[in-house]
Structure 1
Amino acid sequence: MRPHVPVLLATLLVAHQSVAAESFDLQALITAARQEAPITIYAPSGKIVDTAAAFSQKYGVKAEGVKINGAAQLEKMTREFRAGNVRGDVVLTGDPTAALAQMMPLGMVENWTPPDLLGQIPATNRDPLVVYGDPVVWSYNNETYAKCPVDNIWALTDAKWQRKITLQDPLTKASYLDWFNQIEHHYDEQMATAYQAYYGKPFDRAQGSATEAWVKAFAKNGPLPTDSDGSASEAVGAPGQKEPFMGLISTAKYRDVAKGKLRMAICGSMQPFVGLSTPAFGLISAKTKSPNSARLLIHYLMTEEGIANQTIDGKVSGNSTIPPHAKEASGVHAVWGQVLQYQSTSAPQDFDARQRWSDIWRLNFTR
């Protein structure tokens, strides 16, 4: 069971603050790292394999990248920590809520922010360290439609869009359950404002939150749940469709737009938001035997070179000075101000609310 220790969580978030930039010596860190055992980094993207190889070549510090998704990350790192047999020295979180609600309070992982990059990393991205934001965006088929056919998410609850919206199944993608709670806690007024804009009348607060009302209505409208963003993007962007789906799609799938395989664009006019950005925290195992190598890898990930194969997929670096990748295909940076940002402060509540949102979705979902 997750310990209900918000004070402990807050303490852990600040316990590993970096030393001042003027006392940090990158070359000394590199030298120390070269004396340590090889390290392994767990990440939800298979691209981590190439990142680790490039890091090893650059610094002469052996690192291996292993693709492991969020739920498996938590299970694996928990077992390793309890056994005192750490294999994953660094983790790029696939489940940030679980990291904040379980890994950090239990002392399994530690935060470290590169001191020499503090001026480039906004305060909100430092504890825990956000390596990148991973956006999903409302998308439409721009071969069929000259512009996005929807400009308000309440329209997605109308009969016109019944069984014509797709997204990865919230019952198997915990981040969507977290986002339902995030929106209710932090952005519910925007949901109520969008309701009034669409229906021409105020949202009736007697129903509860506007977010819960939307989730229920959306589920009842029979969206197509998929097992991956790839399947959802095919439903939206496959060419030659007369009535294509709309969907909530990872910007990474816009790679196939660049290759000419799909026809998609972001619904930039969607109210109250065009997408959601879930952070990948870069955390170090508290029991790693190679702490300098782990810190050097974290430092590398916070540079343009180290994060390039993620930013090409539309992920946004936690280092604010790193520009959009020249070959990024979705154009998400143009609408970044309309993408909701994950708020770490409610992570324990988000984690505890997963069952509630799962039940709401399951009870209202109509095939």
Structure 2
Amino acid sequence: MKTTKNFKTGWLRATCASAAMAYALTAVPAIAEDFDLDALIAAAKAEDGITIYSSTSKIKKAAAGFSEKYGIEAIGTKAKGPAQIELVVRESQAGNVVGDVIIAADAAAASALLLAEGMVTSWTPPDMADTIGELSSDPLVVWRDPALWTYNNENGGECPVSNIWEVTEDEWNRRIALEDPLNKPSFSDWFNQMETHFDDEMADAYKEHFGKVLDRGEQSATATWVQRLAANAPLLTDSSSGAAEAIGTRGQDKPFFGLVASAKYRDVSPEGLAMGLCKDMKPSIGFAVPGYGLIATGSDSPNAAKLFLHYMMTEEGVLPMTQDGKMSGNSAVPPHPDEVSGVVTYADRLTPHIAATGSDDFDKRQDWQDLWRIHYKR
């Protein structure tokens, strides 16, 4: 796995970086001159069809579009993150590959269990190298699924929270809504990514809000924030839909505030939910969960699998997903015109996921979950 050395994320000054790189946009070097898309298409058509595992049911639409375009049978199958990992592991061990392409929703587990063991490989379309940035190329990021700090904007006005440390204070006691970190691994991974790469930014935000320096002698700024948030008795939901309803339901005197998947903004309407993106929140407006595009080792249709990933890195292929606020790993793909949250405009203010430390995220999940479990108050 390639180590990311330089990048820039707008609000972030990454501790592992020495120079700036535009988040998810900077080009990786050199297009492969010998890549021939027509030759790939011909090779793909000579193979059997493919099956794709993805956490979104919209993969069926994408698969149907691919089949119509290329005349290659493609079956899209919805499988949530843990189920994807289990399927790939079992199929690899049995020597019976069914899922040719996996758009992995659990990035850390994919890094630690699939890529590290050689059960899958990553392939980045060479003819798109100038628009697929370094943070999206190894492994290939087909899309990013944002989780956004969100407020109830029924009565207009700006976001009531400007600093991430505010959610740990009494004003927001029992008024923060988010998915349960014990059931949602991406939250534990986010905690670890912040501590590993962006703890200085968390400490800077603490100083800006409280007017004093945080003592990080015993634990990181991120760990202190997680501990305090858990102790502030947030409302924990079993889905992002539950958090969105808690925040966006109209008629609340003191509405909830919290983290919501960008896809839930499709429920925003004059008769539906009232939600707005906290676009100026420091040090970030949320985080982005990558969907890795991977090819199963031992697939009978490796060229068709590559062609499908190539298709998904185009506006046409990823269109069903960008409507829900997912952001393509290809910077040449524009935001969907009907996407409601507006997150793409502020994408450089999301905490990025650094693939180089994905296995570490997986290894430390239990530690973060234990910290949350110990300090959470109902």
TM tier relative to shorter chain:
over 0.9
Structure 1, gaps ≥5 residues long: 1-8, 12-16
Preserved contact between residue 18 and residue 113 of structure 1 (Cα < 8 Å): no
Q: Of 122, 127, 133, which residue of structure 1 is paired with 2:144?
A: 133
Taking a change above 3 Å as real, the CA distance of residues 320 and 43 of structure 1, as seen in their structure-2 partners, is same
Aligned residue for 1:356, secondary structure, equals: helix
Contact 1:258–1:329 under 8 Å retained in 2: no
- 1:340 aligned counterpart, secondary structure: coil
| 1:285 and 2:278 are equivalent in the alignment | no
Give the distance between the partners of 1:37 and 1:258, measured in 2 at CA.
44
* Contact 1:144-1:244 within 8 A present in 2 as well: no
How far apart are the structure 1 equivalents of 2:197 and 2:80? 26
CA distance in 1 between partners of 2:225 and 2:31 (Å): 46
Counterpart Cα distance in 2 of 1:268 and 1:10:
31
Q: Secondary structure at the match of 1:299?
A: helix
Given that residues 140 and 148 in structure 1 are in contact (C-alpha distance below 8 angstroms), is that contact kept between their aligned partners in structure 2? yes
- 1:111 maps to 122
| Partner Cα separation in structure 2 for residue 18 and residue 74 of structure 1 | 31
Structure 2, unmatched stretches of 5+, are 4-27
Shift of 1:260: 4.4
The answer on 1:301 being equivalent to 2:316 is: no
Kindly provide the CA deviation profile for residues 164-206 of structure 1, in whole angstroms up to 9, marking residues without a partner as x. 1011110011010011111011111111111111111111123
- Larger % of helix: which? 1
Of the three residues 340, 349, 359, the one matched with 1:348 is 359
Deviations 1:282-322 (A, max 9, x none): 00001100111101100000001001111111111111111
What SS does structure 2 have at the residue aligned with 1:279? Answer: strand
- What TM-score comes out, normalization by structure 1 length? 0.93
Q: Which of 5, 24, 33 pairs up with 2:35?
A: 24
Determine if the alignment matches structure 1 residue 187 to structure 2 residue 198.
yes
Q: Aligned equivalents of 2:366 and 2:216: distance in 1?
A: 23
Is 2:135–2:354's contact at 8 Å kept on the other side of the alignment? no
Query: Structure 1 vs Structure 2: percent identity of aligned residues?
Result: 49
Most deviating of 54-63 and 234-243: 234-243
Partner of 1:63: 74
**Residue 224 of structure 1, aligned match among 235, 242, 245:** 235
Is 1:212 matched up with 2:242? Answer: no
1:237 paired residue among 248, 258, 281: 248
Q: Please list every run of at least 4 consecutive aligned residues from structure 1 whose deviation after the TM superposition is greater than 3 angstroms.
A: 17-21
The one of 186, 191, 195 equivalent to 1:175 is 186
RMSD: 1.7
Q: Does 1:359 pair with 2:376?
A: no
TM-score by length of 2: 0.91
Q: CA deviation at 1:271?
A: 1.0
Hey, what's the Cα distance between the residues in 1 that align with 2:134 and 2:372? 35
Aligned to 2:12: none
The one-character-per-residue Cα deviations of 1:60-84 (angstroms, maximum 9, x if unpaired) are 0000001111111111110000001
1:137–1:275 Cα contact (<8 Å) kept: yes
- The answer on whether the counterparts of 1:42 and 1:91 sit within 8 Å (CA) in structure 2 is yes
Counterpart of 1:74 in structure 2: which amino acid?
I
How many aligned residue pairs are there? 354
Is the 8 Å Cα contact of residues 192 and 203 (structure 1) preserved in structure 2?
yes
Query: In structure 2, how many angstroms separate the alpha carbons of the residues matched to 1:145 and 1:165?
Result: 19
Cα offsets for 1:228-273 (capped at 9, x unmatched): 1111100011122211111100001011115841110011121111
Q: Which amino acid aligns with 1:357?
A: W
